[in-house]
Amino acid sequence: MVVHSNNYKTEVMKHLLLLCFLGIAGAVPAQPMNYRGTQGGTVSLGQRTTLSAFNHGNEASALGLGGQFRIRLSDRINTEWFFDYLPATNEFSRRTDYHIGWSVMYYPFNHNNERFMPYVLAGHCFDYTKQVEIANTSNSVDRWSSAVQGGIGTHVNLTERLDLSLSSQYMIHLGTDVNSHTHDGEVEFHKEKGGSFEGHLLFTLSFNYKIFDLWARE
Amino acid sequence: MGARVTGLLVGMLMIFHAPAQQVESGERQGLLQATGSLYPGWMLNHNVRNNYAGGHFAYYFDDHYSFRGEFLGYVDAQTDEKYIKKHLLVQAGFGRHFPLKRWDPFIYAQMGLSGIELQGSTNAFLRPNVGLVAGAHYNVSRFFYFYAECEFMHMKDPERVNNLDQLLVTAGLGFQLPTRK
Q: Where are the beta strands (DSSP E) in chain A?
A: 42-54, 62-72, 77-89, 93-106, 116-133, 140-157, 162-173, 177-183, 186-192, 199-213
* pLDDT for the residue B16: 46
* pLDDT for the residue A176: 75
Q: Are A215 and A41 in contact (CB under 8 A)?
A: yes
* pLDDT for the residue B32: 95
Q: What is the mean pLDDT of residues A49-59?
A: 77
Q: What is the DSSP letter of B81?
A: S
Residue B11, Cβ density class (10 Å: 0-12 exposed, 13-18 middle, ≥19 buried) = exposed
Q: How far is CA B104 from the centre of its chain?
A: 15
CB contact under 8 A, B161 and A60: yes
Q: pTM of the full predicted structure?
A: 0.82
Looking at the DSSP assignment, which residues form a beta bridge with residue A188?
A181
Q: How confident is the model at residue B10 (pLDDT cuts 50, 70, 90)?
A: low
CB contact under 8 A, B59 and A28: yes
* pLDDT for the residue B2: 64
- A28: contact with B, CB 8 A cutoff: yes
Over residues B22-76, the pLDDT tens digits come to 677 778 889 999 999 999 999 999 999 999 999 999 999 999 999 999 999 999 9
CB contact under 8 A, B94 and A158: yes
If you compute the radius of gyration of chain B from its CA atoms, what whole number of angstroms results?
A: 18
A65-74, A185-194, A209-218, B172-181: which is most confident: A65-74
- A214: contact with B, CB 8 A cutoff: no
* pLDDT for the residue A56: 63
Nearest to B128 among A25, A65, A90 (CB): A65
Per CB-CB distance under 8 Å, the chain B contacts of A134 are 159
How many Cβ atoms sit within 10 Å of the Cβ of residue B158? 22
Which of A31, A44, A45, A63 is the mutation pick for testing B, counting most B CBs within 10 A?
A: A63
Q: Are B91 and B56 in contact (CB under 8 A)?
A: no
Q: Calculate how close chain B gets to A161, using CA atoms only, in Å.
A: 10
Percent of chain B with pLDDT over 90: 75
* pLDDT for the residue A178: 78
Q: How far is CA A189 from the centre of its chain?
A: 28
Q: Bigger pLDDT: A80 or A160?
A: A80
C-alpha dist (Å) from residue A8 to A12, A17, B2, B33: 6, 14, 9, 28
CA angle B60, B61, B67 (to 5 degrees): 60
* pLDDT for the residue B174: 96
Complex ipTM more than 0.95, yes or no:
no
C-alpha dist (Å) from residue A43 to A81, A82, A215, B144: 11, 14, 10, 35
How many Cβ atoms sit within 10 Å of the Cβ of residue A2? 6
